[in-house]
């Protein structure tokens, strides 16, 4: 307890007249600002920040299992170099053997568009920190366009990087469109709204593993429920698990079954939150439901939509259970996400490369999500205010 | 125009008009109704079919599964309990007495754990029914972790909504440098982790006291909130090896506590984000009034604020419970056998020699999703009221 | 149960408050006498609520000091200041019953249950809430909620009551009723009370003294009658009174006020190039064009009930006159306005200060 003269002028100190000495409960109360937030910050420091830093040690080392524990040999950026240029390139980026004409055209078009965007934001006087952010986003976009041009558009297989982006971008797009459409339908004056709401919500709650197994079972060509259908279209001895694109789309199918409810539930709440009088005013003016949605409702729910897509994207980058269960990443590496890539490397006791891939996933996630946040979500939020 | 005139026009509407035009404002035309209900019905089937298929497969025999698709129990196949029997009857430990014994063991082990700082009581190994073990593990870990996460998360969220924090940028930078230094010292200079950690912390507090006043750049509550929420971006795979090593160093691998802690941190961003929104939207006069009346900060939080956010608390608790119940990737790394959770149990069925035994697998999945479906129906009520929308609106 | 309330003075000494670059209070000096009912009156943004919050401890002054009794409390936590506050929104805890709401200050102070129950009943009886103790706030009417808030404030017998626009959420009829009750209660308890409002009628009826604030500056501190009859400056003069005081722009030359050719004798003398003549509607009379000091024509006539408000136009100035209820004149009719000489005020247009 500090002396009375010292505490007199400090905010929060007890007055001389009322309580001569501070009790322990008052001491605690005076430090409530600290103890309210300290547990959360400490836990995050220990279990998120510290391990993130420590992962660097793995990522720049070759790790060996010895009887006395792990042995690290520092190889600096070799693990990363391997993913981009070395013998892991095919696994991570894909087979890059020069670009086809379409690949070239696509890459140049994207590069041009990105450079134009950079030039315009430079002309509009972005801050230097904003310019650095834009440069990073632009570089990433150009690199991804190059990989896309060199793999898919040049007839080569792509690696886990592009597969992950495929799940994120195509998955999010499909889920957003269908989820919003369902929410729109459910916001119409229909009976049984609560029934649909509960039923549509359920898949979100089912463990991704269960979803993986259920879809593996259902999509089975010979024993699954659609066997008569496959027979009918003459695919009775087709195995989708050996067809890269079919396998990828089926993973997206399972993922969408699980995550559309998330979009649906939030968009429905947003739709129902639009002021009734505005909708009624439009109805009196004779607008159709679709026109009301397009002109009145949609502009008001765009900020929610942008946020919900961001949340979905963040989670989508972590996809692992579904491809692991449904296809084990196959055929080959066609459905392997980056997390799964890292897990497989870890199972092969290659912890250095595993950590390097994990780290690259973190960097990719941060760049894509913060680009989306800065250029789309913030813009929409600002417009709404 | 007279009233009868209006009616006359009404009846003159042509077939197409009657089909495609809404009969009144706020109603749908028959055609629109047909399309809307058609889609909704289709989606209902799409959503329910996989669940239906899992449930009926759980009651199929090996032969029925392998012969090809059968759709309706009692009609085109007769249900059996093979899948369930394989789980429970063939495991010698899965009778009722064993389950009771295991519950007793749990109580015993919990007491041993609570008393461990004072008396050394060796915990007993549970030696019984794997499914039951995984099931109880999942319950203990989900509930424990959710409780921890809700307490810590809502306290932090409340503090960020109401108390001004001004961490110095310089101090944070110093902390990061010292943490990196500690890592280097442990890993490359061979210092014991506890020693380097303690030295790093001590140095940080010393330096912060000495230089903290001279740093000008400050961060605010918004920055702290953003920092906490942004932790959700972190893919679990990035942090799992170091976390594994940390738990190994303190001997917590394959314990409930390890998973409880890690799950709590994984969900902390969601809890802080959503709860912060609730707390920020409360009228501040209530808290000011309590403050004048002499309540402590914690008293206000506990007595006034938490009861007012009850719907939000309930909804977020359910959400966290469900996320914990379903978590897979962290459990794979941090649990070996004793702390194995249901998802691990399910995934392990994949590795059978005779391929996947679908009927057994489905039986476990059904067991696993029953509590979740019940929770989902409760949670849905809150979501329908828009309880969780506020935060998303940004 | 008899309780003698300590009557304590409250002093603001050179209190300043800024939020960032915005100055909300500039050197507020204010001495509240023991047992006084003081009203802080001002428009929104005048700094009146900030002053109250600084006294309650919910806000800290940028500089200056606050005394309650002979104790300096500038940096003392709210709970040690021995005050209680009624909020505009009442701040009732919706999840607690009326009894729990009233008893909350006792509960957090660790008053024994039996004692607390007696005090709760006592406080509830004082505001006529005795039979509603087990209801929840949502089951009460606006007036009843207001009473609960009052009971919660008095239950602890604090040395100072603070009230932040406590009546503004009530409808007009109830407000008048609660006003009377509030005044009666303060009289019985004799506790020093500081009451913030933007409503001049509340201020005039309730206060022993009114402090008028504008832009963070204390304009006048006086009894209601003094403020009405002897406003310190143009702002106070216009702020108090309904309908507001009429103002006419012109020049003061000696003891004569010139405006648009009209000359009015005023009770003060001086020479001000840009002056304002202020006159309350009840101090003017409508007369025939020849008899008045000022010639004008009728703009509108509004029958209020016990009197008629006649707005007349003279040059570019509008003047409202309070006339008898049987007044009948037509819009556009030429009339004269007679001003009561010793009830005229002259202000300097540049500073707003009264010319005396």
Prediction ipTM score:
0.87
Model pTM above 0.90? no
Structure confidence at residue A18 (pLDDT): 45
Predicted confidence at residue A237, as pLDDT, reads 78
Q: Which alpha helices (DSSP H) does chain A contain, by range?
A: 4-8, 24-30, 32-44, 50-59, 78-84, 89-92, 101-123, 128-150, 160-186, 193-201, 208-218, 227-232, 244-273, 276-284, 289-292, 298-316, 321-326, 338-347, 351-372, 378-384
The pLDDT, as a whole number, for residue B12 is 60
Order of strands across the sheet with C160-164? Answer: C83-86, C160-164, C192-197, C37-41, C209-214, C217-222
- Judge whether residue C174 has pLDDT over 80: yes
CB contact under 8 A, B288 and C58: yes
Name residue C264's beta-bridge partners. Answer: C257
Structure tokens at A97: 């053997």
Average pLDDT rounded to a whole number, residues B74-97: 73
CA distance B387 to chain C (A): 18
What pLDDT score does B379 carry? 82
Give the pLDDT of residue B390. 66
Residue C203 sits at φ, ψ, to 5 deg, of -60, -45
Q: Among partner residues B43, B322, B365, which is closest to A205 by beta-carbon distance?
A: B322
pLDDT at B354: 65
Chain B nearest CA to C206, separation (Å): 23
> Helix, strand or coil for residue B168?
strand
CB–CB contact A37 B241 (8 Å):
no
CB-based contact C148:C129 (threshold 8 Å): yes
Q: Number of CB pairs < 8 Å for A and B?
A: 293
Distance from CA of A4 to the nearest CA of C (A): 13
Listed in order, strand segments (DSSP E) in chain C are 10-19, 22-32, 37-41, 63-68, 71-72, 83-86, 160-164, 192-197, 209-214, 217-222, 246-259, 262-279, 284-287, 294-303, 307-314, 317-324, 334-339, 345-348
In this predicted structure, what is the pLDDT of residue B356?
Answer: 79
Record the tokens describing residue A180, joined without a space. Answer: 């919003």
Instruction: Tell me how far apart the alpha carbons of residues C267 and A183 are, in angstroms, rounded to a whole number.
Output: 76
Q: Say if residue C155's pLDDT is above 60.
A: yes
Interchain proximity A182–B43, CB inside 8 Å: yes
Contact A8 C60 (CB under 8 A): no
pLDDT of res. B4: 46
Contact B368 A318 (CB under 8 A): no
Give the pLDDT score at C206. 92
Measured between CB atoms, which of B44, B50, B362 is closest to A196? B44
pLDDT of residue A16: 39
Residue C252 contacts residue C270 (beta carbons within 8 Å): yes
pLDDT-derived band at B239 (thresholds 50, 70, 90) equals very high
Give the number of other CB atoms < 10 A from CB of residue C83.
25
The pair of three-digit structure tokens given for residue B13, joined into one six-digit string: 């509407």
Contact A202, B51 (CB under 8 A): yes
Q: Does A6 touch chain C (CB under 8 A)?
A: no
Pick the residue from chain A with its C-alpha nearest to C73.
A15
B292 to C79: CB separation less than 8 angstroms, yes or no: yes
Cβ–Cβ contact A20 with C under 8 A: no
Round the average pLDDT of chain C to a whole number and report it: 89
Share of chain B above pLDDT 70, in %: 85
Which one, of C210, C204, C208, C211, lies nearest residue C186 by Cα? C208
- Asked if A270 and B383 come within 8 Å (Cβ–Cβ), the reply is no
- pLDDT of B393 reads 61
Which residues of chain A are within 8 Å of residue B261 when distances are taken between CB atoms?
43, 47
Residues whose CB falls within 8 Å of the CB of residue A254, separated by 6 or more in sequence, listed in order: A211, A212, A214, A215, A322, A326
Give residue-wise pLDDT tens across range B29-60. Answer: 888 888 899 999 999 999 999 999 999 998 88
pLDDT digit string, tens, across residues C100-148:
999 999 998 888 999 999 999 999 988 888 889 999 999 999 889 999 9
What is the number of other CB atoms lying within 10 angstroms of the CB of residue B75? 8
Mutation for testing the A interface, residue in C73, C78, C80, C81 having most A CBs under 10 Å: C80
Please report the pLDDT score of residue B352 as a whole number.
Answer: 59
Pick A13's closest partner by Cβ from C71, C75, C82: C75
How far is Cα A304 from Cα A298, in angstroms, rounded to an integer? 10
Pick from B291, B304, B310: CB nearest C78: B291
Share of chain C above pLDDT 70, in %: 99
Question: What is the mean pLDDT of each successive set of 10 residues along chain A, which is 385 residues long?
Answer: 33 42 76 91 93 90 81 87 88 87 93 94 85 93 93 89 96 96 89 87 89 90 85 82 90 95 89 84 81 86 91 93 87 92 90 93 95 89 77
Phi, psi for residue C25 in degrees, rounded to 5: -130, 130
* B34 vs B37: CA distance, rounded Å: 5
Q: Which two tokens stand for residue B192?
A: 């014991």
Q: How far apart are CA A324 and CA B175, in angstroms?
A: 39
pLDDT at B5 over 80: no
- C22 contact A CB<8A: no
Q: What's the gap in Å between the CA of A248 and the closest CA on chain B? A: 19
Mutation pick from A18, A28, A29 vs chain C, by most beta carbons of C within 10 Å, is: A18
More confident residue, C65 or B15: C65
- pLDDT reported for residue A191: 86
Chain C residue whose CA is closest to B305: C93
Half-sphere exposure of B244 (CA within 13 A, CB side): 20
In whole angstroms, what is the distance from residue B9 CA to residue B3 CA?
10
Give per-residue pLDDT as tens, B320-378.
999 999 999 899 889 888 888 888 888 877 765 667 788 888 888 998 889 888 888 88
């Amino acid at each position: 307890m500090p002396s009375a003269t010292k505490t007199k002028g400090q905010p929060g100190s007890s007055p001389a007249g009322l309580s001569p000495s501070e009790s322990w409960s008052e001491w605690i109360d005076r430090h409530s600002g600290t103890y309210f937030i300290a547990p959360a910050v400490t836990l995050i420091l220990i279990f998120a920040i510290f391990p993130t830093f420590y992962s660097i040690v793995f990522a720049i080392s070759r790790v060996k299992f010895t009887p006395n524990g792990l042995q690290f040999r520092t190889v600096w950026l070799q693990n990363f170099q391997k993913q981009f240029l070395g013998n892991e390139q095919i696994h991570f980026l894909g087979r890059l053997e020069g670009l086809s004409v379409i690949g070239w055209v696509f890459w140049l078009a994207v590069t041009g568009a990105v450079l134009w965007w950079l030039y315009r934001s430079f002309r509009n006087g972005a801050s230097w920190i904003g310019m650095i952010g834009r440069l990073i986003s632009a570089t990433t976009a150009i690199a991804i366009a190059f990989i896309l041009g060199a793999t898919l558009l040049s007839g080569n297989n792509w690696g886990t990087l592009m597969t992950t982006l495929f799940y994120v971008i195509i998955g999010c797009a499909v889920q957003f469109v269908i989820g919003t459409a369902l929410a729109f339908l459910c916001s119409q004056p229909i009976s049984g709204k609560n029934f649909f709401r509960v039923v549509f919500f359920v898949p979100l709650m089912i463990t991704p593993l269960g979803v993986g197994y259920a879809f593996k079972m259902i999509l089975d060509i010979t024993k699954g429920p659609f066997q008569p259908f496959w027979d009918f279209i003459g695919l009775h001895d087709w195995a989708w698990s050996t067809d890269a694109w079919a396998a990828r789309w089926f993973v997206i199918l399972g993922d969408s079954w699980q995550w559309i409810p998330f979009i649906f539930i939030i968009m429905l709440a947003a739709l129902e939150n639009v002021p009734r009088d505005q909708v009624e005013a439009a109805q009196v003016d004779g607008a159709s439901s679709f026109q009301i949605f397009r002109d009145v409702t949609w502009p008001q729910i765009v900020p929610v939509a942008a946020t919900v897509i961001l949340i979905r994207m963040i989670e989508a980058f972590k996809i692992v259970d579904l491809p692991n269960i449904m296809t084990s990443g196959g055929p080959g590496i066609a459905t392997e996400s980056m997390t799964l890539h890292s897990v497989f490397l870890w199972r092969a006791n290659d912890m250095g490369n595993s950590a390097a891939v994990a780290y690259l996933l973190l960097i990719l996630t941060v760049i894509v999500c913060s680009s989306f946040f800065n250029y789309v979500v913030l813009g929409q939020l600002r417009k709404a205010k | 125009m007279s009233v009868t005139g209006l009616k006359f026009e009404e009846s003159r509407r042509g077939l197409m008009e009657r089909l495609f035009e809404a009969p009144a404002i706020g109603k749908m035309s028959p055609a629109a109704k047909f399309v809307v209900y058609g889609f909704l019905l289709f989606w209902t089937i799409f959503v329910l079919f996989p669940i239906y298929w899992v449930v009926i497969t759980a009651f199929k025999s090996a032969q029925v599964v392998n012969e090809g698709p059968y759709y309706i129990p009692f009609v085109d196949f007769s249900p059996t309990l093979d899948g369930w029997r394989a789980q429970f009857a063939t495991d010698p430990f899965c009778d009722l007495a064993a389950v009771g014994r295991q519950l007793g063991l749990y109580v015993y082990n919990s007491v041993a754990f609570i008393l461990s700082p004072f008396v050394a009581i060796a915990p007993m190994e549970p030696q019984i029914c794997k499914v039951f073990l995984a099931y109880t593990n999942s319950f203990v870990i989900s509930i424990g972790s959710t409780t921890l996460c809700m307490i810590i998360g809502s306290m932090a969220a409340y503090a960020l909504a109401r108390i001004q924090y001004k961490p110095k940028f310089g101090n944070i930078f110093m902390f990061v440098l010292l943490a990196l230094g500690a890592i280097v010292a442990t890993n490359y200079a061979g210092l014991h982790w506890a020693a380097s950690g303690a030295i790093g912390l001590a140095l940080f507090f010393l330096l912060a006291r000495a230089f903290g006043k001279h740093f000008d750049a400050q961060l605010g509550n918004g920055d702290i909130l953003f920092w906490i929420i942004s932790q959700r971006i972190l893919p679990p795979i990035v942090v799992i090896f170091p976390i594994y090593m940390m738990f190994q160093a303190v001997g917590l691998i394959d314990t409930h506590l390890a998973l409880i802690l890690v799950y709590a941190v994984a969900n902390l961003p969601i809890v802080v984000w959503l709860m912060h929104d609730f707390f920020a939207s409360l009228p501040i006069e209530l808290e000011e009034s309590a403050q004048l009346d002499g309540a402590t900060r914690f008293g206000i939080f506990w007595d006034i604020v938490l009861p007012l956010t009850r719907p939000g608390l309930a909804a977020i608790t359910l959400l966290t419970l469900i996320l914990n119940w379903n978590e897979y990737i962290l459990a794979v790394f941090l649990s070996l056998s004793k702390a194995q959770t249901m998802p691990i149990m399910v995934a392990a069925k994949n590795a059978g020699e005779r391929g996947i035994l679908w009927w057994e697998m489905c039986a476990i999945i059904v067991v696993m999703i029953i509590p979740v479906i019940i929770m989902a129906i409760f949670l849905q009520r809150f979501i329908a009221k828009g309880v969780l929308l506020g935060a998303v609106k940004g | 149960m008899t309780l003698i309330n300590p009557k304590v003075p409250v002093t603001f000494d050179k209190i300043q408050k800024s939020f960032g670059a915005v100055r909300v209070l500039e050197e507020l000096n204010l001495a509240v006498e023991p047992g006084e009912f003081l009203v802080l009156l001002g428009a929104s943004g005048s700094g009146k609520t900030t002053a109250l919050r600084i006294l309650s401890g919910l806000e800290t002054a940028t500089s200056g000091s606050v005394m309650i009794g002979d104790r300096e409390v500038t940096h003392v936590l709210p709970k040690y200041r021995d005050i209680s506050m009624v909020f505009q929104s009442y701040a009732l805890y919706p999840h607690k019953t009326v009894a729990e709401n009233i008893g909350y200050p006792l509960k957090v102070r660790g008053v024994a249950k039996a004692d607390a129950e007696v005090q709760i009943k006592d406080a509830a009886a004082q505001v006529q809430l005795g039979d509603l103790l087990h209801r929840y706030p949502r089951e009460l009417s606006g007036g009843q909620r207001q009473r609960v808030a009052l009971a919660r404030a008095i239950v602890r017998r604090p040395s100072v009551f603070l009230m932040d626009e406590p009546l503004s959420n009530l409808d007009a009829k109830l407000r008048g009723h609660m006003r009377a009750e509030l005044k009666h209660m303060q009289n019985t308890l004799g506790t020093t009370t500081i009451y913030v409002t933007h409503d001049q009628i509340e201020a005039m009826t309730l206060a022993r003294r009114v402090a008028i604030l504008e832009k963070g500056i204390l304009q006048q501190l006086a009894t209601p009658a003094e403020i009405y009859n002897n406003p310190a400056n143009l702002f106070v003069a216009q702020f108090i009174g309904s309908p507001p005081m009429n103002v006419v722009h012109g020049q003061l030359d000696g003891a004569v006020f010139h405006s648009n050719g009209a000359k009015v004798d005023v009770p003060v003398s001086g020479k001000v190039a840009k002056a304002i003549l202020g006159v309350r509607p009840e101090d003017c009379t409508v007369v025939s064009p020849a008899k008045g000091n000022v010639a004008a024509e009728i703009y509108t006539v509004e029958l209020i009930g016990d009197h008629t408000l006649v707005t007349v136009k003279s040059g570019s100035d509008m003047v409202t006159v309070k006339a008898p209820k049987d007044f009948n004149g037509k819009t556009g009719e030429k009339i004269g306005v007679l001003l009561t000489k010793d009830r005229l005020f002259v202000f300097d247009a540049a500073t707003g200060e009264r010319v005396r």
